[in-house]
Chains A and B, each alone.
Chain A
Amino acid sequence: DVKVTQSSRYLVKRTGEKVFLECVQDMDHENMFWYRQDPGLGLRLIYFSYDVKMKEKGDIPEGYSVSREKKERFSLILESASTNQTSMYLCASQTGLSYEQYFGPGTRLTVT
């Protein structure tokens, strides 16, 4: 079974803090994605990566950056957290041969 893990299930941070969300997949997938999920808005793509050190902006990249130094790990960085970044963050991985995405359990981030 494909496993996608995220470093924290719940996280509380203060405004202005630098926040790191980590995601690890164990299936050697090429593609990895970061989404945020808000009630009534569904999933919105923040960033994705097709390979190590490669990244592309999604629909809502403002206020976020990413890092992919190893194939299995994809990090989402909030340089200076703000209250409007309070949300559920979901990571997913995907083999380049298939369009199916495998999701982690999510990190519920609260910025106070």
Chain B
Amino acid sequence: AQSVTQLDSQVPVFEEAPVELRCNYSSSVSVYLFWYVQYPNQGLQLLLKYLSGSTLVKGINGFEAEFNKSQTSFHLRKPSVHISDTAEYFCAVSETGGSEKLVFGKGTKLTVNP
């Protein structure tokens, strides 16, 4: 069975600073990986996904993530954050060729301060 660990529950940063949100996963088979964002009082929205191919994945709003199979990680990065990036971010994993269910991490709350 898969599991996802988001190493930081809260990350405060200043506007225009870079940010990295960390995600590690555990699985005995190949996986697909996702990052979702949840703005206050809204549902989840897909930021980016890794299914195959290049390990560097670019998503919406200037975010990118790198799949590192040897370290079983899928960290999310942005070189310069805005106040509007304040939200909760969820990493999720699914087994390739298996059930389409997603297993989610517990989330990282990103707060961007002026």
Contact = CB atoms under 8 A, between A and B. Distances in A.
Contact of A40 (B9, B42, B44, B45): B9
Given A40-B9, A42-B106, A103 B100 contact: no
A100 B94 CA distance: 10
B104 interface: yes
- The interface residues of chain A, by DSSP majority, are classed as strand
A61 to B, nearest CB: 13
Contact of A42 (B43, B46, B51, B107): B107
B32 A105 contact: no
Interface of B: 9, 32, 34, 36, 41-46, 49, 51, 90, 94, 100-102, 104-107
Contacts, number: 47
Contact of A103 (B43, B49, B106): B43
B100 A42 contact: no
Given A41-B106, A100-B34, A106 B43 contact: yes
A43 B100 contact: no
Contact of A99 (B9, B43, B51, B107): B51
A99 B44 CA distance: 15
A40 B49 contact: no
A45 interface: yes
Contact of A106 (B42, B46, B49, B106): B42
A109 interface: no
A99 B106 contact: no
Q: Which of B46, B51, B104, B105 counts the most chain A CB atoms within 10 A?
A: B104
A66 interface: no
Contacts of A104: 43
B94 A99 contact: yes
A94 to B, nearest CB: 6
A37 B61 CA distance: 24
A4 B9 contact: no
B106 to A, nearest CB: 4
Q: State the 5 A-B residue pairs at the shortest beta-carbon distance, nearest first.
A: A103-B43, A42-B106, A103-B44, A43-B104, A105-B43
Given A31-B100, A94-B100, A99-B100, A43 B90 contact: yes
Given A42-B90, A100-B49, A48 B101 contact: yes
